[in-house]
Amino acid sequence: MNLRDYFQAIATAYRRDAGLRTPTQDLLRRADEELADFAPGGITIIGSGGKGVATFTPWVGFFNPDETTNPQEGIYIVYLLSEDLAGLTLTLNQGMEYLRKRVGDSAARQRLAQDAETIRNAFPPQALAGLATRMDLTSVGARQRNYEAGNIASLPYATATLPPEAELEADLRRFLDLYEQAIELKRQLLLGAPGSLASPSGSAAGTEPDPLRDFKPKDDSDYQAHIIGKKLRKSRRHETLVRKYGEWVATRGYAASTTEFPKDLVLRRTTDEWLAEIKVVYLGNATEAVRAALGQLYTYRYFQSSRDSSVRLLAVFTETIGLAYAEFLASCDVEAVWWESGLWVGTPGAVSADLAEIAY
């Protein structure tokens, strides 16, 4: 289902007084299935019409698990229907449930509104051009007022005249890009002034001490002894992508192993063995992700697969890395796969090995 049809169906049929056991509530709960095509790899989608009782303002959120996994704390993207169902708002928002429990609704709203302004001001000029700093859910409910206070930037639509599908998809892509920027800006603000924002932030990739810093192995055994004794940090979004790809590739007859540390994923089918490295493309930086994947794949095969050239190499990414980089990896005998528009897209070699659904 596309975005326009999905939200139009909810806006047309949602009835709070009908409770939680309705086709519309089921559609909200299936948001992760219905809208999977529109999220980059490792992003979690949750839809809700309320818990215990139906909410006045049903919502569908997009969550980067490195920042938050629910709407109670941290930054996330959410579509919110207004209480009168006449409006749909796409918003880059902040969860405040945990904060509200600590300081109360009024103080929490004031703090989240201040944080929203701080984060907005940290964006480059024009990044938020055309977006609203205030939103109206036509409700006096406490939860709805909390959403309004947490708004960093938003884009309102009238449900009776939703834009064409292409425009809705372009708007969501823009907000997903802003989401990554907002998370990084929040981390920088907290590093520069700890406590300056109300909610904590997940650890950014590469901000923790590198356990391999200054490590120069003398030989294979030195490498093995050192690497096994170290804990290499993996982000939650990374682990989400590992699980998602491992589950899919298992349907193609592969046995997927995630226990052969420090390798992300080892795939085996009959006589074939693949060493897979999973990479999150942060802030659109395909260059960094490709270089890291290539280096790790060759390092792991050299030190941990007895330099066996029959062990084939695969790099899996959260989003497209571009044709040039896909061809570059293939020229290095590394097949590439990435999540795009709800499909595992990859190099021709990956498709022929049943490691991707379609070729780029």
The CATH number given to whatever domain includes residue 27 is 3.30.920
Residues 148, 137: Cα–Cα separation, whole Å: 8
CATH code assigned at 326: 3.40.1350.10
CA dihedral 149, 178, 62, 340 (to 10 degrees): 170
| Paired tokens of 264 | 């992300």
Provide the domain count of the chain: 2
- The pLDDT of residue 206 is 42
User: Can you give the residue range of the structural domain that contains 325?
Assistant: 220-359
- Asked if residue 352 and residue 283 are part of one domain, the reply reads yes
269 & 174 share domain: no
CA–CA separation, 4 and 248 (whole Å): 27
CA distance 262 to 174: 35
162 plus 20 within the same structural domain: yes
Residues 182 and 239 in one domain: no
Residues 246 and 121 in one domain: no
Same domain, residue pair 11 and 142 = yes
Q: Is residue 241 part of a domain?
A: yes
Residue 207 forms part of a structural domain: no
DSSP track, 185-205: HHHHHHHHSTTSSSS--PPPT
Distances (CA, A) of 170 to 72, 79, 107, 165, 175: 27, 14, 35, 9, 9
Average pLDDT for runs of 10 along the chain of length 360 = 97 96 97 95 96 96 94 95 97 93 91 95 95 96 93 98 98 97 94 86 52 59 56 78 95 93 91 95 93 94 76 96 97 97 95 97
Residue 82's contacts (CB-CB under 8 Å, 6 or more residues apart) are 57, 88, 89, 136, 137, 138, 139
Does 203 map to a domain?
no
Residues 67 and 172 in one domain: yes
Residue 63's CB is within 10 A of a number of other CB atoms, namely 23
Determine, yes or no, domain membership for 198: no
- End position of a domain, from candidates 175, 190, 205: 190
- Max CA-CA distance within the chain? 70
Q: Are both 10 and 98 inside the same structural domain?
A: yes
Regarding whether 240 and 279 lie in a shared domain, the answer is yes
Q: What pLDDT score does 74 carry?
A: 94
Q: Are residues 47 and 165 in the same domain?
A: yes
195 located within any domain: no
Last residue of a domain, one of 190, 212, 242: 190
Q: Are residues 178 and 234 in the same domain?
A: no
pLDDT of residue 348: 97
pLDDT at 20: 95
Query: Which of these three, 136, 170, 190, is where a domain ends?
Result: 190
Do residue 42 and residue 183 come from a single domain? Answer: yes
Query: Which H/E stretch holds residue 98?
Result: helix 97-103
253 — alpha (psi -120 to 50), left (phi > 0) or beta?
left
